[in-house]
Amino acid sequence: MLSREQNELITRVMPGTPMGNAMRRYWIPALLAREIAEPDGAPVRVRLLGEDLLAFRDSTGRIGLVEEYCPHRRASLFFGRNEECGLRCVYHGWKFDIAGTCVDMMNEPEENDFKHKVRLTAYPTCERGGIVWAYLGPAERMPPLPKFAWTEAPETHLHVTKVIQECNWLQGLEGGIDTSHAPIMHRLLSETSTRGGFKPSNPFVRGKAPKLVVDITDYGYQYAGIRPLGDAEMHIRTYHFVLPFHQIRPSRAESGVPLIAGHSWVPIDDETTMVYNWAYSPNDALTDADRLERGLGNGPVHVDPDTFRSHANRANNYLLDRNVQRNESYTGIDGINVQDRAIQESMGRIVDRSKEHLGPADKAIIQARKLLRQAVKAVEEGRAPDGTGTSYYSLYAHEAVLPGGADWRRQVTPEMRAEMILQTV
């Protein structure tokens, strides 16, 4: 449980808030690169950490991420013309390049113009893994570029989508680093069901309640859910939490090939989140069926590819089918991540964490909250927050069945060198 003040501190990210300042020290997913595929194409509205922005690709292919409102008389530049290396406001014709420099003022005679005196706020961007990332913090504190193992995967092996979730970002993140709910809420009751979820024979479901081991690092933590399987074996599933809001987990494609997957819960504002979903196959290229993400409920079947709104949503009770709930799946809701969104949104826009009752199964969540508070403190004290180095660059996530008592760290996560683990809780 958190006090009301602690809850406010780590959930709110609008400009000027302590967590908002901390989050602005990281590279943040701003939009999918395919939303601004064409040079001089239509600008796209992006709301990020409560700031209204516009993304556009200029004539030479460079990306601009600028404030939405024209500094002249505040018209929205969404209606602007993306022309010859700049975005021109259609009200009086002021034009801005990707750096936010005013390059033309059509409504002022040349001898009067004062374009060198006005600017549009513009943020640096980079394109990696099919995502345009933005840095909204102080220029002199910019961390190294965002580089996860998945952002470096070839396009043929990588799939990225996004979907709007109608609650605070931390509720999403806490669902993502909560292994204990997964084989319960996402459980299928029938071995023959074709829906997304974990079947009764899956060792993840057959195993008993998990013991959690959290290895704290300088990027966040790795944690393992260890579930006894009979007397002789155990099921291990490892996850990473990379500050401030990334999850990495093992997964499987529709075709059955092993994947590494994850989400990033990016605040649109305090009460709305853009969830980025990614998956990559270390070995085989992904198929068209894999890219539909039917089991997860994040693909074009479940989410409008233009508005990024989920067809199953709060207004229609996520298309819950009580018959399916009785006979086929725990929730009766179709799609693993639709189930996640339903339950996380059911807690309210910002859950009141002063009313919780946490147990040992919530250990990873308790640690994440602690690390977030430490990140806030570091920024307040003028230091770089954890997770702004490069130690997360080569992380993987794993799933395995091992003999009980095996040295799982050595066998399952060899890339986690001992010196990366600062403390185990």
The site for Fe ion (CB under 5 A) is made up of 340
> Position 206: which residue type?
R
Closer CB to ligand FES, residue 72 or residue 141? 72
CB of 81 to ligand FES, least distance (A): 12
Number of H helices, E strands in the chain: 10, 19
Max Cα-Cα span within the chain: 86
Residue 97, CA distances (Å) to 86, 206, 284 in order: 4, 58, 41
Give me the residues paired with residue 27 across strands. Answer: 135
**Residue 55 and residue 174: Cα distance in Å, rounded?**
29
CB of 93 to ligand FES, least distance (A): 6
Interacting residues with ligand FES (CB under 6 A): 70, 72-73, 75, 89, 91-94
CB of 73 to ligand FES, least distance (A): 4
* Chosen from Fe ion, ligand FES, none, partner binding at 296 (C-beta under 5 to 8 Å by type): none
Closer CB to ligand FES, residue 8 or residue 104? 104
* Chosen from Fe ion, ligand FES, none, partner binding at 73 (C-beta under 5 to 8 Å by type): ligand FES
Closer CB to ligand FES, residue 90 or residue 285? 90
Closer CB to Fe ion, residue 168 or residue 388? 168
Q: Closest by alpha carbon to 309, among 273, 334, 344, 279?
A: 273
Q: Give phi and psi for 269, each to the nearest 5.
A: -155, -165
Closer CB to ligand FES, residue 33 or residue 70? 70
Closer CB to Fe ion, residue 7 or residue 251? 251
**Residue 137 and residue 123: Cα distance in Å, rounded?**
9
Closer CB to ligand FES, residue 75 or residue 406? 75
* Chosen from Fe ion, ligand FES, none, partner binding at 87 (C-beta under 5 to 8 Å by type): none
CB of 92 to ligand FES, least distance (A): 3
Helices (H), 135-224: 169-176, 182-185, 203-206
**Residue 36 and residue 30: Cα distance in Å, rounded?**
12
Whether the Cβ atoms of residue 266 and residue 48 lie closer than 8 Å to each other: yes
Q: What is the residue whose two structure tokens read 């074009």?
A: 300
Whether the Cβ atoms of residue 122 and residue 115 lie closer than 8 Å to each other: no
* Chosen from ligand FES, Fe ion, none, partner binding at 340 (C-beta under 5 to 8 Å by type): Fe ion
* Chosen from Fe ion, ligand FES, none, partner binding at 89 (C-beta under 5 to 8 Å by type): ligand FES
**Residue 179 and residue 186: Cα distance in Å, rounded?**
11
Residue 3, CA distances (Å) to 6, 16, 267, 283 in order: 5, 21, 22, 46
* Chosen from Fe ion, ligand FES, none, partner binding at 94 (C-beta under 5 to 8 Å by type): ligand FES
Question: What is the SS3 assignment for 211-270?
Answer: EEEEEECCCEEEEEEEEEECCCEEEEEEEEEECCCEEEEEEECCCCCEEEEEEEEEEEEC
Among all residues, whose Cβ is closest to Fe ion? 340
Give, for 126, the enclosing helix (H) or strand (E): strand 125-128
Q: Closest by alpha carbon to 47, among 308, 246, 305?
A: 308
* Chosen from Fe ion, ligand FES, none, partner binding at 70 (C-beta under 5 to 8 Å by type): ligand FES
CB of 35 to ligand FES, least distance (A): 23
* Chosen from ligand FES, Fe ion, none, partner binding at 72 (C-beta under 5 to 8 Å by type): ligand FES
CB of 55 to ligand FES, least distance (A): 18
Whether the Cβ atoms of residue 207 and residue 227 lie closer than 8 Å to each other: yes
* Chosen from Fe ion, ligand FES, none, partner binding at 39 (C-beta under 5 to 8 Å by type): none
Closer CB to ligand FES, residue 92 or residue 252? 92
CB of 142 to Fe ion, least distance (A): 33
CB of 337 to Fe ion, least distance (A): 7
Closer CB to Fe ion, residue 270 or residue 340? 340
* Chosen from Fe ion, ligand FES, none, partner binding at 308 (C-beta under 5 to 8 Å by type): none
CB of 75 to Fe ion, least distance (A): 42
Whether the Cβ atoms of residue 130 and residue 117 lie closer than 8 Å to each other: no
CB of 281 to Fe ion, least distance (A): 21
Closer CB to Fe ion, residue 17 or residue 344? 344
